[in-house]
């Protein structure tokens, strides 16, 4: 059994990972400031601490107290971050402070008195506009938005801390996360961002009658239908990859993996999938492009599949949307419909 600190564990991805860790017999402890998460969606039966990553002294006290109780943390899984690329282009300063500077406080606390292994939730946004698709891990890192730059700064810090202090880390670069976890009790958690800005839950809001239409930001990209193409990965598949990366750190001191579906779907294709799954018409409105949005982001997950033995289960877009649809109906109290 591993005792693991999960930062941002009250959120969508971190909470899913924490729940799966617990189901496999590990002891996750969630650290979150609850600024973008709901307490009622905390995974049941998992301890949580309210705190700030920027407070290095408090982090050191937490690590020291755990060690003094003979219950030291074995590793940290770091999800806590601001994640909206569009917002980062209007308020870049809060992304550098929250995502980069606060992570440095965590890393300093780990070096001082905490565990020396970290699984870092990075992003495909570190690549910017890739020269080749699908993107491989050795592609150029040229972010086009401040969100991606803030995550790249963390990766650069990790490179140096690994080289100089021996901090072990796995950096997982992933793309659009979607869907809801299907556990033994059915679907019990999924996306619940406030406010919501991700495409699939926004389109499902239209199906639920919570918004009149979906906005398509840009229809003149160099793609087959003119809309942006993204690689959608199911949250459960992503969680499993984090566990595999954590296990692999026992034999490796530095790992970098892309995680994705391997297939790209355009905004129009996502809308069409929601129409099929829900049986609802989805009115769409074309709006101007958003700054910092690359035309195509699709991952090559060949390295993770080969090195980690990772096998994504949800590769069909309609299946990903199906789980998200069940969750959003439960979340908003709608009568379940399956299209």
Report the distance separating Cα 54 and Cα 316, nearest Å: 39
pTM above 0.85, yes or no: yes
Residue 143 to residue 28: CA distance in whole angstroms: 32
Find the Cα–Cα–Cα–Cα dihedral 237, 243, 245, 249, rounded to 10°. 180
- Which of 95, 127, 147, 232 does the annotation list as catalytic? 147
Active site annotation includes 217: no
Could you read off the pLDDT tens digit of each residue along the chain, which spans 339 residues? 899 999 999 999 999 999 989 999 999 999 999 887 778 778 888 999 999 999 999 999 999 999 999 999 999 999 999 998 889 999 999 999 999 999 999 999 999 999 999 999 999 899 988 888 899 999 999 999 999 999 999 999 999 999 999 999 999 999 889 999 887 777 878 888 777 788 999 999 999 999 999 999 999 999 999 999 999 999 999 999 999 999 999 999 999 999 998 889 999 999 999 999 999 999 999 999 988 788 888 989 999 999 999 999 999 999 999 999 999 999 888 655 544
Task: Give the pair of three-digit tokens for residue 101.
Answer: 């500077």
Neighbours of 40 (CB within 10 A): 7
Contacts of 148 (CB under 8 A, 6+ apart): 85, 123, 125, 126, 127, 128
| Contacting residues for 53 by C-beta, under 8 A, at least 6 apart | 7, 31, 33, 59, 80, 102, 103, 105, 106
User: Which contacts qualify for 44-49: CB closer than 8 Å, 24 or more apart?
Assistant: 46/9, 46/18, 46/19, 46/22, 48/9, 48/10
In the three-class reduction of DSSP (H, G, I as helix; E, B as strand; rest coil), residue 229 is classed as strand
Find the DSSP H helices in the chain: 12-23, 56-68, 85-88, 92-95, 102-113, 146-165, 199-207, 235-248, 267-278, 302-308, 317-332
What is the set of domains in the chain, with CATH numbers?
3-178+233-259 (3.40.50.720), 181-231+262-332 (3.90.25.10)
Please provide the DSSP assignment of 124-143 as one string.
GGGGBS-SSSSB-TTS--B-
């Amino acid at each position: 059994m591993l005792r693991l600190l999960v930062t941002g564990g009250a959120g969508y991805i971190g909470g899913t990972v924490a729940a799966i860790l617990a189901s496999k017999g590990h002891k996750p402890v969630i650290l979150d400031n609850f600024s973008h998460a709901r307490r009622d969606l905390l995974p049941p039966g998992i301890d949580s601490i309210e705190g700030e990553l920027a407070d290095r002294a408090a982090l050191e006290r937490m690590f020291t107290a755990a060690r003094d109780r003979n219950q030291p943390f074995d590793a940290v899984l770091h999800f806590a971050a601001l994640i909206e690329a569009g917002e980062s282009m209007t308020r870049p300063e809060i992304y550098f402070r929250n995502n980069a500077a606060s992570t440095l406080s965590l890393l300093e606390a780990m070096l001082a008195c905490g565990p020396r292994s970290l699984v870092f939730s990075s992003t495909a946004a570190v690549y910017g506009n890739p020269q080749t698709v699908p993107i491989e891990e050795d592609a150029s890192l040229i972010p086009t938005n401040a969100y991606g730059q803030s995550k790249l700064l963390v990766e650069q810090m990790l490179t140096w801390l690994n080289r100089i202090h021996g901090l072990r880390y796995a950096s997982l670069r992933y793309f659009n996360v979607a869907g809801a976890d299907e556990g033994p009790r059915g679907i019990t958690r999924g996306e619940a961002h406030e406010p919501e800005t991700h495409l699939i839950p926004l389109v499902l809001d239209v199906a639920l009658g919570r918004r009149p239409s979906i906005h398509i930001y840009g229809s003149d990209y160099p793609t087959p239908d003119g809309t942006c193409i993204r690689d959608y990965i199911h949250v459960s598949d992503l969680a499993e990859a984090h566990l595999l990366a954590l296990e692999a750190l026992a034999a490796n001191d530095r790992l970098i993996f892309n995680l994705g579906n391997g297939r790209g779907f355009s905004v129009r294709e996502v809308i069409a999938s929601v129409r099929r799954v829900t049986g609802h018409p989805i009115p769409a409105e074309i709006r101007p492009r958003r700054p910092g949005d690359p035309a195509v982001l699709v991952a090559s997950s060949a390295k993770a599949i080969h090195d980690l033995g990772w096998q994504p289960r949800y590769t069909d877009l309609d299946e990903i949307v199906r789980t998200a649809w069940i969750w959003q109906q439960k979340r908003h109290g709608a009568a379940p419909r399956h299209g």
